[in-house]
Amino acid sequence: METEINLLHTKFYLPKAREQLVHRSRLTHLLEEGLQGRMVLLSAPAGYGKTSLLADWTQEFHHPTAWLTLDENDNDTARFMEYFFHSFFNRGYIQLQQLLTEKAALFSGNLRQNLDILLNCILSSSENIIVVLDDFHHIHSPVINESINYMVENLPANAHFVISTRADPVVNLPNWRVRGYLTEIRRADLCFTLKESTEFFQSALGDIFTRKNVRALTNKTEGWIAGMQLAASAIKSLDDTYSIDLFIESFKGTNRFILDYLLDEALKNQSEETRNFLLFTSLLEHFSASLCNHVLERNDSQQMLDFLERNNLFIVPLDNERTWYRYHTLFADLLQSQLEKLDKERKRLIHQSAANWFETNHYYNEAIEHNLMAENMDAAERLIQLNAASVLNHSQFTVFSNWLNRLPREKLYQNPTLCTYYALTLLLRGNSYHEIKQILESMQEFADAGFYGPAFIRSLLAIIQGNPQEALQHLDLIKSNPPQEDEFLSGYLELIQALTLPVNINQTIENLRKTYLRSNIAGNLVIAITSRSYLGDLYNFMGKLTEAQKNYQEALDLSTIDKNAYLPIGSNVLLGLGEIAYKRNQLDEADRFLSAGLEIKENIAISHFWGLCTSKARVCIAQGRIQQALAYMQQAQELAIQFDTTEFDDFVVSCRIAQLHLLMGNLDAAEERVNALSMHDIEKSRDLASFSIIYTPIQYLYPSTLACCAIHQGKLSESIEILSKLYHESVEKNLGDFVLQFSVLLAVAHEKNNAREEALGYLHKALDLAYPEGQVQIFLEQKENILTLLYEAAHRNIHPEFTGHLLSLFPQMNTQEETDKFIIHDGEIIEPLSDREIEILALISQGFSNQQIAVQFHLSLSTVKVHTYNIYRKLQVHSRLQAVSKATLLKILPPTKK
Amino acid sequence: MGELSNYYQIYIQGHLGQNWSEWLQSFHIQHKENGITVLTGPIVDQAALRGLLDHLFDLGICILSFRRLGFHPEGRIFFSL
């Protein structure tokens, strides 16, 4: 793996104030005052000295400052987060840095959580924290803008933001203005005043410059600093014979675009050497003396750069060592427009030369860029391929596809390895089926020659489409010619094999563990996380929630250690964690995980996102938020339609939605869905689990939906038939979670069918399974259907404590028999006590202790406690005394005879 | 009147030399007397429009107005709406 060097350190570089610059204390003081509030916004077009002002201010007031210069690429949320958090380090924030380091392990893929941790650390440190985000106009990501909103909203008093930008950011400015959070320094403030421009021209040009001249130039440029700098350069280079007044007259009179004109004038009188240096280097985004020497074939670039810097000729140093520079964007653009006069060939050569230098020095990103600009597609392709594995291993799919997008199609199609990688990234994105097919077609001749790529892609495609037989066929083709040198693909292959070869769940777990270990050692992060996540899934199937949780958590941590982008599978992990929390009725936590998963999606469009939506809907239903649940269900459906690589997911989503409707009691809606399912898809789903055990939930999806519907429709024997089969199958396969699900359903079905003993038998089994893992929701979902059974179970001493706990979780609900016997007293509705409860209450009123009552009725102590609890609950009291007196008052108990 | 074309006309402050034409994505550059330049050219979609405006804005060019042009019923000549 090639190690890559990069120019990252320049992003955190706090610019130093330049000596000759006019010190604008009116503005630095404005800034300083603004730091009493939450944010200072510096918003003005290019060339108004924003960054210089900030440098000036840091110098004057000596605050430790976190600094981050942003660029286009920072719209990637993961990247932004990484750099943002990093910007607080090595800035003199000792306490904050320590706190952040301590909490490092807590950072995860959840943006909101990470921000909370950061805000807490800031709160805990006593330091005054200032963070500057320069060039914020590059940011258009709504996720990042939201994060800024969130942070400002919740900002501790010791923290302050400074945002420097060329365009107002899309954040909550109006709101902050009203609340006084915001200080703005805008173009009008940043214009040079007459006093300031006088000072400027004085230091730049000396006394030859009259007041009249200053005023004329200030007016013409409207205080635009960039304009004035250029004007000064132009004037400086004037011939002695050419009077300044004349220059200014002609300048005032010209209609030309100011900067264009001034640049011309400024360049006109420079030496050809300087001119060429400026023009040619303007093609380079970042440059160093060494790079310039190479590209321009000279050896005095360092002197040239020093000269330019000293004379304020547009270059900006990017680090302390004065190694790297860039042009102020304004001037880069201006210079490049001048380059039009040169021929294209010259420009191309410059890019090529730069590309070569960057490559030799291991800056591969920049090398690829310049090769593409030089239209040297061969070199670009070579470098992309060289770096593909490491880039993909770190899941930087966006970076990778950006490169490939700029290669001409014909070139790409001739490179089988790159094509395969490209197709893989498209598959993960899920909505470019058409393009994937095109790629496969173009790779046909390679396939014929025995190349593994197309078969690999086809097998993945088949898996996604729910055609396991086909997938296996394609995989067989690969076995004869496996991709050994290709770390990335062979890791993927191993994962698929681990998932598909044996059908026994324990064996699959074993294989996945091995895959995980191997990929971890090989540094193949994507495979490591994916396999770990599948392990979580499998334990989930077995009903071993705690074990599943451990695996999911580790998978999530893995994506954090890398801190580089959120892997597509990250959302799968969050889905798993969310579902576990839901099963345990930890609804807030479930909400958090699922929301985090939905957030990750912003980065890369992935399949299975709808799974998060349907799970979120389920949580909403449990929380009583029906409108929201319906919205999520709608979203899930739309996403499934968008994912055009297969129609099969529409089937899966439809079933899930049907089940959600049943949860809400909408039998009609559910039936409609079920009836609309295609036979073809139903057939497909019947045998999926034999391909891989990971498909079990999908295989059971249709029959269980059918059975649930049948229960609601009163077709009890039908449902019992289906459920019994499913039950026995899952027992056989050791799939504890499904056994639990089916036994609960069977209990309900039998109960409705008036087979109380059968029902209790299954309920007992369910309680056995649910109790050790705290599975609660599976019962709550059944609502009143299971209430009587639970009471009965408690009565019969089956898991009395657990049943008691479950009953206490049910919102005030009543079985049908008892609903008729309500007492209304003083505006309160009093639930009727059962016969047993009255008996117990009678003994209580006679002073019996719980233990004595237990003995009396041959019950366990726990059962008596359950009854007592229910008595209190129904009577809405909190003690034995209260219970007795209220019951007497309500004539539930006969008045006590002394 | 007439269908909308994908040609836009942008009025900016200051005369831009012809050397800017290519840099401005092959727009046609026309100078008016009062120090105003008219740029006319095709913009394929909203994102491209935004890109061009950003470009001009970044240069500190003052944008006075912009609008979309329609088709002359007879064919390819554009007239202003």
Q: Which amino acid is at A501?
A: L
Which pLDDT tens digit goes with each residue over A728-750? 999 998 999 999 999 999 999 99
Section A198-210 average pLDDT: 80
CB contact under 8 A, B59 and A46: yes
Find out whether A268 and A233 touch, Cβ atoms under 8 Å.
no
Q: Is the pLDDT of residue A430 over 90?
A: no
Q: What is the mean pLDDT of residues A62-73?
A: 87
* Residue A762 pLDDT exceeds 80: yes
pLDDT band at A604 (very low <50, low <70, confident <90, very high): very low
CB-CB contact of A132 with A65 (8 Å): yes
The answer, yes or no, to whether residue A613 has pLDDT greater than 80, is yes
Inter-chain contact A166–B61, Cβ cutoff 8 Å? no
B66 to chain A nearest CA, in Å?
18
pLDDT score, position A655:
92
The sign of the CA dihedral A527, A529, A530, A531 is positive
Above 60 in pLDDT, residue A5? Answer: no
Q: Note the pLDDT of residue A1.
A: 26
Reference A330, options A200, A254, A225, A197; nearest CA is A225
| CA-wise closest residue to A861 among A807, A801, A803 | A801
Contact A260 B37 (CB under 8 A): no
- Percent of chain A at pLDDT > 90 equals 23
Predicted local confidence at residue A69, as pLDDT? 92
CA A869 to chain centre: 45
User: What pLDDT does residue A373 have?
Assistant: 87
Give how far Cα A865 sits from Cα of A794, A840, A844, A847, Å: 10, 10, 12, 15
Phi, psi angles (nearest 5°) of residue A359:
-65, -45
B31 contacts in A (CB within 8 Å)? 255
Q: Does position A605 have pLDDT exceeding 60, yes or no?
A: no
Per-residue pLDDT at A764: 93
**Size of the A and B interface in Cβ pairs below 8 Å:** 58
Q: What is the pLDDT of residue A828?
A: 63
Closest to A368 in 3D by CA, of A456, A263, A476, A285: A285
Q: Average pLDDT of A122-145?
A: 90
Q: CB distance from B16 to chain A under 8 Å?
A: yes
To the nearest whole Å, the CA of B75 is away from the closest chain A CA by 33
Cβ–Cβ < 8 Å for A643, A607: yes
Do B59 and A333 count as a contact with CB atoms less than 8 A apart?
A: yes
Q: Which residues have a Cβ under 8 Å from the Cβ of A357 and sit 6 or more positions away?
A: A290, A291, A294, A295
- Tell me the longest C-alpha to C-alpha distance in chain A: 127
From B62, which residue of chain A is nearest by alpha-carbon distance?
Answer: A257
From the list A45, A167, A258, the residue facing B14 with the nearest CB is A258
> Does the CA dihedral A844-A849-A853-A856 come out positive or negative?
negative
Residue contact A255–B17, C-beta within 8 A? no
For A187-223, give one letter per residue: b (16+ CB within 10 A) or e.
eebbbbeeebbbbbbeebbeeebeeebbebbbebbeb
Give A428→chain B minimum CA distance, Å.
Answer: 25
Distance between A272 CA and the closest CA of chain B, angstroms: 20
d(CA A583, CA A579): 6
Residues of A in contact with B20 (CB under 8 A): 260, 337, 340
Tokens linked to A479? 């076995």
Nearest residue on chain B to A338, alpha-carbon basis:
B19
| Residue in chain A nearest B55 by alpha carbon | A333
CB < 8 Å & 24+ apart, contacts of A545-551: A545/A580, A545/A583, A545/A584, A545/A773, A545/A774, A545/A775, A546/A773, A548/A576, A548/A580, A549/A577, A549/A580
Distance linking the first and last C-alpha atoms of chain B = 8
Q: Rounded to a whole number, what is the distance in Å from the CA of B11 to chain A's nearest CA?
A: 13
Q: Which token pair is A176?
A: 């902050």
**Does residue A510 have a pLDDT over 90?**
no
pLDDT at A356 over 90: yes
- Between A333 and A656, whose confidence is greater? A656
CB-closest option in B14, B15, B23 to A337: B23
Instruction: Specify the pLDDT at position A804.
Output: 80
What tokens were used for A258? Answer: 């100011």
Q: Does B52 touch chain A (CB under 8 A)?
A: no
What's the pLDDT score for residue A7?
61
Nearest to A340 among B23, B31, B61 (CB): B23
Residue of chain B nearest A256, judged by CA positions: B15
Exposed, middle or buried by CB within 10 Å (0-12, 13-18, 19+), for A813? exposed
Kindly state whether A139 is in contact with chain B, defined as any CB-CB distance less than 8 angstroms: no
* Least reliable range by pLDDT among A14-23, A84-93, A379-388, A619-628: A14-23
Give mean pLDDT, residues A411-419.
Answer: 85
Q: Does A44 touch chain B (CB under 8 A)?
A: no
Which residue in A191, A224, A255 has the most chain B C-beta atoms within 10 A of its own C-beta, making it the best mutation to test that interface?
A: A255
Q: How confident is the model at residue A615 (pLDDT cuts 50, 70, 90)?
A: very high
Identify any residues that bridge with B7 across adjacent strands, giving them in sequence order: B42
Residue A564 has pLDDT above 50, yes or no: no
Question: Of A371-380, A533-542, A813-822, where does mean pLDDT reach its minimum?
Answer: A813-822
Contact between A255 and B20 using a beta-carbon 8 Å cutoff: no
Q: Is residue A566 over pLDDT 50? A: no
Matching residue, tokens 């201010």: A57
pLDDT at B79: 47
Contact flag A259-B35 (C-beta cutoff 8 Å): no
pLDDT in tens, A85-129: 889 988 888 888 888 888 877 776 677 888 988 999 999 888 899
Q: Is residue A883 within 8 Å of A875, Cβ to Cβ?
A: yes
Burial readout A145-162 (b: 16 or more C-beta within 10 A, e: otherwise): bbbbbbbbeebeeebbbb
Would an 8 Å CB–CB cutoff place B26 in contact with chain A? no
Beta-sheet strand order (sheet of B63-72): B28-31, B36-42, B4-13, B63-72, B75-79
Question: Does residue A337 sit at the B interface (CB-CB below 8 Å)?
Answer: yes
Q: Between chains, do B60 and A329 touch, taking CB under 8 Å as contact?
A: no
Whether residue A719 contacts residue A713, with contact meaning beta carbons closer than 8 Å, is answered with no
Residue of A nearest to B32 (CA): A255
pLDDT of residue A608: 60
**Residues on chain A touching B12 (C-beta within 8 angstroms):** 257
Contact (Cβ atoms closer than 8 angstroms) between residue A352 and residue A376: yes
Q: Which pairs with CB-CB distance under 8 Å and at least 24 residues apart come from A743-747?
A: A743/A769, A744/A778, A744/A779, A744/A782, A744/A786, A745/A704, A745/A707, A745/A708, A745/A711, A745/A719, A746/A720, A747/A786, A747/A789
Q: What is the mean pLDDT of residues A266-279?
A: 80
Q: In this predicted model, what pLDDT tens digit does every residue of A789-823 receive, in sequence order? A: 888 888 788 887 888 888 888 765 444 444 445 55
Beta bridge partners of A66: A131
Out of B16, B22, B23, the one facing A257 most closely (by C-beta) is: B16
Give, rounded to a whole angstrom, the gap between the first and last alpha carbons of chain A: 92
Cβ of A636: how many Cβ atoms within 10 Å?
A: 26
Distance CA A803, CA A797 (A): 9
* CA distances (Å), origin A438, targets A243, A419, A442, A471, A476: 67, 11, 6, 19, 23
Measured between beta carbons, the chain A residues lying within 8 angstroms of B13 are: 257
Q: Give the range of the structural domain holding residue B49, as residue numbers without chain letter.
A: 4-79
Distance from CA of A234 to the nearest CA of B (A): 18
The total domain count for chain B is: 1
Query: Residue A344 is inside which H or E element, if any?
Result: helix A344-360
CA–CA dist A679, B33 (Å, integer): 73
Residue of B31, B35, B60 lying closest to A46 (CB–CB): B60
Instruction: Give the closest residue to A233 by CA, choosing from A315, A343, A115.
Output: A315
Q: Which of the residue ranges A384-388, A398-402, A424-428, A777-781 has the most confident prediction, judged by mean pLDDT?
A: A777-781
Structure tokens at A244: 């300044």
With a cut of 50, say whether residue A693 has pLDDT above it: yes
Mean pLDDT computed over A393-413: 75
Q: Which chain B residues have a beta carbon less than 8 Å from that of A254?
A: 15
- Residue A563 has a pLDDT of 40
Q: Which residues lie below 8 Å from residue A600, measured CB to CB, with a gap of 6+?
A: A109, A566, A570, A571, A574
What is the ipTM score, two decimals? 0.76
Q: Which of A254, A333, A340 sits opposite B58 (nearest CB)?
A: A333
**A581 residue type, one letter:** A
pLDDT at A396 over 70: no
pLDDT attached to residue A397: 64
Residue B15 is given by DSSP the state B
CA neighbor of A393 nearest in space, from A679, A1, A9, A897: A1
- A263-268 contacts, C-beta under 8 A, 24 or more apart: A263/A230, A263/A331, A263/A334, A263/A335, A263/A338, A264/A338, A265/A230, A265/A234, A265/A237, A266/A230, A266/A233, A266/A234, A266/A237, A267/A338, A268/A234, A268/A237
Among A97-101, A299-303, A843-847, A890-894, the range scoring the smallest mean pLDDT is A890-894
| pLDDT digit string, tens, across residues A276-334 | 888 888 888 888 899 999 988 888 888 888 877 776 667 877 877 778 888 877 778 77
CB contact under 8 A, A255 and B14: yes
Task: Tell if the CB–CB gap between B61 and A257 is shorter than 8 Å.
Answer: yes
B60 at interface of A, judged by CB pairs closer than 8 A: yes
pLDDT for res A695: 82
Out of A45, A224, A340, whose CB is closest to B19? Answer: A340
The verdict on B31 touching A (C-beta cutoff 8 Å) is yes
pLDDT of residue A890: 76
Report d(CA B56, CA B79) in Å as an integer.
24
What is the identity of the amino acid at A273? E
> Both tokens of residue A829?
């509705």
Question: Out of A80-94, A513-527, A853-867, which region has the weakest mean confidence (pLDDT)?
Answer: A513-527
What is the distance between the alpha carbons of residues A63 and A160, in angstroms, rounded to a whole number? Answer: 12
Note whether B16 contacts A260, CB cutoff 8 Å: yes
> What are the distances in angstroms from CA A477 to CA A424, A458, A470?
18, 11, 11
Digit-by-digit pLDDT tens for chain B (81 residues) are: 456 777 888 999 888 887 777 777 678 888 888 889 999 888 888 888 888 888 888 778 889 998 888 765 455 544 444
Residue A64 has pLDDT above 90, yes or no: no
- Count of C-beta atoms within a 10 Å radius of residue A817: 10
The residue of chain A with its CA nearest to that of B13 is A257
Beta strand pairing call for A315-317 and A324-327 = antiparallel
Decide if B59 and A224 are in contact by the 8 Å CB cutoff.
no
Asked if the Cβ–Cβ distance from A340 to B60 is below 8 Å, we say: no
A101 vs A418: CA distance, rounded Å: 39
Question: Which of residues B71 and A558 earns the better pLDDT score?
Answer: A558
Predicted structure pTM score: 0.54
Question: Please, what's the largest Cα pairwise distance for chain B?
Answer: 38
Q: pLDDT (tens digit, 9 = 90+) per residue, A621-631?
A: 998 888 889 99
| Residue B81, min C-alpha distance to chain A (Å) | 27
Three-state secondary structure along A239-269?
CCCCCHHHHHHHHHHCCECHHHHHHHHHHHC
A758 CB within 8 Å of a chain B CB: no
Q: Taking residues A631-652, what's their average pLDDT? A: 81
The closest CB to that of B19, out of A166, A254, A338, belongs to A338
Per the model's pLDDT, the better-predicted residue between A346 and A6 turns out to be A346
Determine whether the interchain pair A330/B19 forms a contact, defined as Cβ–Cβ distance below 8 Å: no
Q: What is the pLDDT of residue A681?
A: 85
- CB contact under 8 Å between A336 and B23, yes or no, is yes
Query: What does the pLDDT read at residue A576?
Result: 92
Least confident range from A145-149, A550-554, B15-19: namely: B15-19
CATH number of the domain enclosing B39: 3.30.70
Q: Say if CB A275 and CB A314 are below 8 A apart.
A: no
Smallest CA-to-CA distance from A464 within A511, A423, A407 is with A423
State the nearest Cα–Cα gap between B2 and chain A, in angstroms: 34
In terms of residues, how long is chain A?
898
pLDDT tier, A242 (very low <50, low <70, confident <90, very high otherwise) = low
Chain B residues whose CB is inside 8 A of the A166 CB are: 57-58
Confidence of residue A660 (pLDDT cuts 50, 70, 90): very high
